[in-house]
Amino acid sequence: MTELLSPDPIGLARAAALLRGGAVVAIPTETVYGLAGNAADDQAVAGIYAAKGRPSFNPLIVHVADRAGVDRLVEVGAEAEKLIAAFWPGPLTLVLPLKEGAPVSPLVTAGLPTLAVRMPAHPLARDLLTVFGGGLAAPSANPSGRISPTEAAHVLSGLDGEIAAVVDGGRCGVGLESTIVGFDDAGRAVVLREGGVTAERLAEVLGYPLDTRAEGEAINAPGQMTSHYAPQGVMRLNATVAEPGEVMLGFGATGGDLTLSASGDLIEAASNLFRMMHALDEMGAERIAVAPVPDEGLGRAINDRLRRAAAPR
Ligand code: TXA
Ligand code: MG
pLDDT digits (tens, 9 = 90+) for 90-115: 999 999 999 999 999 988 987 788 99
Distance (angstroms) between ligand 1 centre and the Cα of 60 equals 5
Q: Indicate whether residue 254 lines ligand 1 (CB < 6 A).
A: no
Distance (angstroms) between ligand 2 centre and the Cα of 95 equals 16
Distance (angstroms) between ligand 1 centre and the Cα of 90 equals 14
pLDDT of residue 230: 81
Residue to mutate, 33, 58, 61, ligand 1, most ligand atoms under 8 Å from C-beta? 61
Q: Indicate whether residue 36 lines ligand 1 (CB < 6 A).
A: no
Instruction: Classify 289 as helix, strand or coil.
Output: strand
pLDDT of residue 220: 36
Low-confidence stretches of the chain (pLDDT beneath 70): 55-57, 214-228
If we measure between CA atoms, which residue out of 196, 142, 163, 126 comes closest to residue 33?
A: 142
The verdict on whether omega for the bond into residue 89 sits within 30 degrees of 0, i.e. cis, is yes
Cα distances (angstroms) measured from residue 16 to each of 132, 135, 217: 5, 12, 35
pTM of the shown model? 0.86
Q: Relative to the alpha carbon of 61, which ligand is closest?
A: 1
Q: Indicate whether residue 165 lines ligand 1 (CB < 6 A).
A: no
Distance (angstroms) between ligand 2 centre and the Cα of 75 equals 25
Cα distances (angstroms) measured from residue 135 to each of 50, 88, 119: 19, 16, 10
pLDDT of residue 144: 87
Where residue 13 falls (left for φ over 0; alpha for ψ -120 to 50; beta otherwise) is alpha
pLDDT of residue 207: 97
Cβ neighbour number for residue 265 with a 10 Å cutoff: 15
pLDDT of residue 228: 60
Q: Relative to the alpha carbon of 216, which ligand is closest?
A: 1
Distance (angstroms) between ligand 2 centre and the Cα of 244 equals 32
Q: Indicate whether residue 112 lines ligand 1 (CB < 6 A).
A: yes
Task: Please state the atom number of ligand 1 nearest to the C-alpha of residue 108.
Answer: 26
pLDDT of residue 222: 28
Where residue 202 falls (left for φ over 0; alpha for ψ -120 to 50; beta otherwise) is alpha
Distance (angstroms) between ligand 1 centre and the Cα of 223 equals 13
Residues facing residue 289 across a β-bridge: 236, 248
pLDDT of residue 54: 74
| Residue with CA closest to ligand 1 atom 12 | 139
pLDDT of residue 21: 97
Q: Indicate whether residue 138 lines ligand 1 (CB < 6 A).
A: yes
